[in-house]
């Protein structure tokens, strides 16, 4: 599990959607929250994890991504779109074959506001949604029915049917505030006025609805109609409680891209949102390192092309917060100044600023964590100097064949690959790890000494006392012994050896300082093994034939294909060899093996 409670505590305390991503980069769960920090932190509290499946999911988490939205209502809608897009394995309830609900306002006389499932089965009218939660959708409908006189029956209220008065039975079963337009008890103008305010709620225009009820309340109060004024006041209070000022879905907004950039002196932070059919279907925050004198509009113009390709966006309108020079045909770039599109830019800016805050917090935390690890290592090994640079050596050979060695350097607790070194063992015959270690340590620090380059603050030898003593002798011969702290780490029990100390020390197995030493040792071993395999592989293609003057790799391969083995080539007659390689080369081959 890559995430800790401390990292989760840095999430924002705002509504939004969170995505759990595993080590393979796959989204395994999408969730919504009114408070992201509070909701996500529950997953890291064992006492609140409900079952083993959830526990297993938590242990798979490698990365957590968040998208901040304006309200929990927005989060519900975005959650639904992300689940449908990523199909996370742990969102079982929302991965079934059911279609997600919409709110539909059909084109009819005295239009109803109704919930539907399969949008494609309905034509005309206005759609709101989709909703990831039936409960959330019903809460919106309930609010509308409490506030407005919207009918809930299923009848077609055409003028002809109304005149025939076919709906008398309906009067006995009116639900909510329905005033009976079917029986002419409510005028069409009055009904349409209520419908307009209901649609404003679905569009997130709460301020307009509040003004409407406030004016009605004042008018009733002036007319001393205190009962109606009280009713309007109660509806105002309901609106205050309803936090669904959504910019996620709006029937007037179709397909467009939203991209907001916020930069400082060194970095630029962007949030990209893709709006499809009025719904937010994708959101990504990223950062780039700024070049010298690079302006925001240059960065935005460059990254917009990449982001649109990544999300396969064909939108013809792009909303940005700073003007850009766009050269693509049929694509309009707009800097909105007001309205719903301005709200989308503000939402993108909110996510860009959150990403910036998270980026610098993580970098600062990473730097502090590395410093703490190195300070702990200095304390555990009783080092005089802070181990900013650490070098580790390892040998590799197979029974003395193709002997090589490696040296890796960690700087500030991280691999510094620019200073990695390979060594071919030159002065040792046979499998002698001690002599090989003496050679590579001597070569490394003789060169640093000759070039007057800085020495490391710690040398780590992969091996026990034998390899450590060989390294000590190399430093003594260079008059460097005592200037650089030196330790050996043995694999079996992770014992730490010091020069001329008979007994090793043991660092706590859970200590970050031991984990750093293990990482150093493993990296040096990996680097040595890789080099050894390359050398062995390169030389295994050659044969003893290539040692013959005038015989190259191609000629040697022709002989091996014909005679199958080196033994048979040695035993072959010169005439037979001449058939394959010619008389001159055949004579050289016979003479070479005769002289051995």
pLDDT at 246 over 50: no
pLDDT at 108 over 90: no
State the average pLDDT over residues 449-460: 91
pLDDT at 39 over 90: no
| Nearest-angstrom CA–CA distance, 385 and 379 | 10
The per-residue pLDDT of the chain, averaged, comes to 78
pLDDT tier at 95 (50, 70, 90 boundaries)? very low
Q: Which domain holds residue 450?
A: 389-539
Do 47 and 132 fall within a single domain? no
pLDDT tier at 135 (50, 70, 90 boundaries)? low
Could you tell me the two tokens for 324? 């850009």
| Nearest-angstrom CA–CA distance, 229 and 219 | 8
Closest listed residue to residue 569, CA positions, set 584, 558, 554, 553: 558
In terms of pLDDT, which residue wins out, 50 or 146? 146
pLDDT at 442 over 90: yes
pLDDT in tens, 541-564: 445 677 778 888 778 878 877 887
In terms of pLDDT, which residue wins out, 235 or 224? 224
Do 402 and 516 fall within a single domain? yes
pLDDT at 395 over 70: yes
Do 112 and 24 fall within a single domain? no
128 CB-near residues (< 8 Å, 6+ apart) = 102, 103, 104, 105, 202, 203, 249, 251
Could you tell me the two tokens for 194? 């209520």
pLDDT at 392: 94
pLDDT at 206: 64
Do 118 and 65 fall within a single domain? no
Task: Confirm whether 196 is domain-assigned.
Answer: yes
Closest listed residue to residue 441, CA positions, set 489, 407, 487: 407
| Nearest-angstrom CA–CA distance, 520 and 523 | 5
pLDDT at 579 over 70: yes
Phi, psi (degrees; rounded to nearest 5) at 287: -135, 150
Task: Confirm whether 549 is domain-assigned.
Answer: yes
pLDDT tier at 157 (50, 70, 90 boundaries)? low
pLDDT tier at 172 (50, 70, 90 boundaries)? very low
pLDDT at 341: 85
Task: Confirm whether 27 is domain-assigned.
Answer: yes
Q: Which CATH number do you get for residue 472?
A: 3.30.420.340
Do 529 and 587 fall within a single domain? no
| Nearest-angstrom CA–CA distance, 296 and 290 | 9
pLDDT tier at 171 (50, 70, 90 boundaries)? very low
pLDDT in tens, 508-545: 888 888 889 988 988 988 888 887 776 665 555 445 67
Beta bridge partners of 256: 275
Residue spans of beta strands (DSSP E) within 119-159: 126-128
pLDDT at 446: 92
DSSP at 34:
S
Task: Confirm whether 189 is domain-assigned.
Answer: yes
Residue spans of beta strands (DSSP E) within 216-352: 256-263, 267-276, 279-289, 317-320, 332-334
pLDDT at 327: 63
Task: Confirm whether 246 is domain-assigned.
Answer: no
Do 407 and 520 fall within a single domain? yes
pLDDT tier at 233 (50, 70, 90 boundaries)? confident
pTM of the prediction?
0.43
State the average pLDDT over residues 282-294: 77
Q: Which CATH number do you get for residue 564?
A: 1.10.150.20
pLDDT in tens, 329-349: 778 888 888 887 888 888 888
pLDDT tier at 99 (50, 70, 90 boundaries)? low
Do 533 and 580 fall within a single domain? no
Do 533 and 575 fall within a single domain? no
pLDDT at 100: 60
Domain boundary among 512, 539, 566: 539
pLDDT at 72: 66
| Nearest-angstrom CA–CA distance, 104 and 115 | 6
pLDDT at 50: 60
Closest listed residue to residue 69, CA positions, set 307, 458, 465, 350: 350
In terms of pLDDT, which residue wins out, 532 or 61? 61
Task: Confirm whether 323 is domain-assigned.
Answer: yes
Domain boundary among 499, 523, 539: 539
Task: Confirm whether 531 is domain-assigned.
Answer: yes
465 CB-near residues (< 8 Å, 6+ apart) = 488, 497
In terms of pLDDT, which residue wins out, 95 or 66? 66
SS3 at position 485 = coil
Task: Confirm whether 219 is domain-assigned.
Answer: no
pLDDT in tens, 200-216: 777 656 666 777 778 87
Do 350 and 456 fall within a single domain? no
| Nearest-angstrom CA–CA distance, 371 and 520 | 16
Domain boundary among 35, 57, 86: 86
Whether residue 566 is preceded by a cis peptide bond, meaning omega within 30 degrees of 0, is: no
Residue 521: Cβ-neighbour burial (10 angstroms; 0-12, 13-18, 19+): buried
pLDDT at 123 over 90: no
Do 49 and 175 fall within a single domain? no
Do 482 and 401 fall within a single domain? yes
Mean pLDDT is highest, among 151-155, 547-551, 583-587, for 583-587
pLDDT at 68 over 80: yes
Positive or negative, the CA dihedral 294, 299, 301, 306 is positive
pLDDT in tens, 463-479: 888 889 999 999 999 99
pLDDT at 377 over 80: yes
pLDDT at 252: 67
State the average pLDDT over residues 304-323: 82
pLDDT at 245: 41
pLDDT at 268 over 80: yes
Q: Which CATH number do you get for residue 27?
A: 3.40.1440.10
pLDDT at 244: 38
Do 108 and 187 fall within a single domain? yes
Least confident of 146-155, 193-202, 282-291, 386-395: 146-155
Domain count, the chain: 5
pLDDT at 96: 40
| Nearest-angstrom CA–CA distance, 250 and 276 | 11
pLDDT at 293: 64
pLDDT in tens, 482-505: 889 999 988 777 889 898 787 888
In terms of pLDDT, which residue wins out, 253 or 556? 556
In the chain, % of residues over pLDDT 90: 8
Least confident of 270-274, 292-296, 398-402, 472-476: 398-402
pLDDT at 414 over 70: yes
In terms of pLDDT, which residue wins out, 458 or 482? 458
Identify whether the C-beta of residue 256 lies closer than 8 Å to the C-beta of residue 319. Answer: yes
Least confident of 15-19, 295-299, 499-503, 540-544: 540-544
């Amino acid at each position: 599990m890559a995430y800790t409670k401390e990292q989760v505590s840095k999430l924002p305390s705002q509504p939004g959607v969170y995505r759990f991503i595993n080590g393979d980069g796959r989204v395994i769960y999408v969730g919504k929250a009114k408070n992201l920090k509070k909701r996500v932190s529950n997953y890291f509290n064992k006492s609140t994890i409900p079952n083993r499946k959830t526990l297993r999911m938590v242990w798979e988490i490698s990365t957590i991504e968040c998208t901040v939205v304006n309200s929990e209502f927005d989060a519900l809608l975005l959650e639904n779109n992300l689940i449908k897009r990523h199909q996370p394995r742990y969102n079982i309830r929302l991965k079934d074959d059911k279609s997600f609900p919409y709110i539909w306002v059909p084109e009819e006389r005295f239009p109803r506001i109704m919930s539907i499932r399969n949008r494609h089965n309905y034509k005309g009218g206005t759609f709101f949604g989709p909703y990831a939660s039936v409960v959330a959708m019903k809460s919106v409908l309930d609010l509308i029915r409490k506030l407005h006189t919207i009918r809930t029956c299923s009848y077609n209220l055409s003028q002809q049917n109304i005149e025939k008065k076919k709906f008398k039975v309906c009067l006995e079963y009116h639900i909510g505030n329905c005033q009976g337009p079917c029986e002419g008890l409510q005028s069409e103008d009055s009904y349409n006025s209520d419908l307009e305010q209901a649609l404003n709620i679905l569009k997130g225009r709460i301020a307009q609805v509040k003004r409407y009820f406030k004016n009605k309340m004042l008018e009733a109060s002036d007319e001393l109609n205190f009962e109606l004024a009280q009713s309007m006041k109660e509806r105002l209070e309901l609106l205050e409680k309803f936090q669904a000022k959504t910019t996620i879905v709006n029937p007037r907004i179709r397909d467009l891209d939203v991209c907001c950039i916020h930069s400082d002196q060194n970095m630029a932070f962007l949030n990209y949102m893709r709006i499809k059919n009025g719904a937010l279907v994708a959101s990504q925050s990223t950062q780039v390192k700024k070049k010298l004198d690079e302006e925001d509009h240059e960065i935005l113009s460059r990254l917009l092309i990449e982001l649109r390709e990544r999300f396969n966006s064909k939108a013809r309108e792009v909303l940005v917060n700073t003007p850009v020079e766009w050269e693509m045909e049929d694509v309009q770039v707009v800097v909105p100044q007001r309205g719903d599109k301005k709200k989308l830019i503000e939402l993108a800016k909110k996510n860009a600023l959150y990403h910036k805050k998270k980026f610098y917090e993580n970098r600062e935390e990473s730097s502090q964590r590395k410093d703490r690890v190195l300070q702990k290592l200095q304390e555990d090994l009783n080092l005089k100097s802070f181990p900013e640079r650490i070098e580790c050596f390892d040998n590799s050979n197979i029974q003395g064949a193709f002997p090589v060695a490696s040296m890796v350097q960690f700087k500030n607790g991280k691999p510094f690959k620019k200073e990695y070194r390979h060594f071919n063992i030159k002065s040792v015959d046979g499998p002698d790890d001690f002599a090989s270690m003496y050679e590579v340590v001597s070569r490394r620090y003789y060169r640093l000494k000759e070039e007057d380059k800085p020495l490391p603050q710690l040398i780590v030898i992969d091996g026990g006392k034998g390899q450590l003593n060989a390294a000590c002798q190399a430093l003594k011969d260079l008059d460097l012994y005592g200037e650089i702290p030196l330790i050996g780490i043995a694999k079996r029990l992770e014992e730490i050896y010091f020069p001329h100390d008979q007994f090793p020390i043991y660092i706590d197995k859970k200590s970050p300082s031991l984990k750093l030493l293990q990482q150093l040792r493993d990296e040096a071993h990996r680097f040595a093994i890789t080099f050894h395999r390359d050398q062995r592989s390169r030389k295994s293609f050659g044969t003893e034939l290539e040692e013959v003057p005038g015989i190259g790799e191609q000629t040697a391969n022709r002989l091996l294909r014909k005679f199958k083995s080196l033994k048979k080539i040695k035993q072959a007659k010169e005439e037979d060899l001449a058939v394959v390689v010619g008389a001159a080369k055949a004579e050289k081959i016979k003479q070479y093996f005769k002289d051995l």
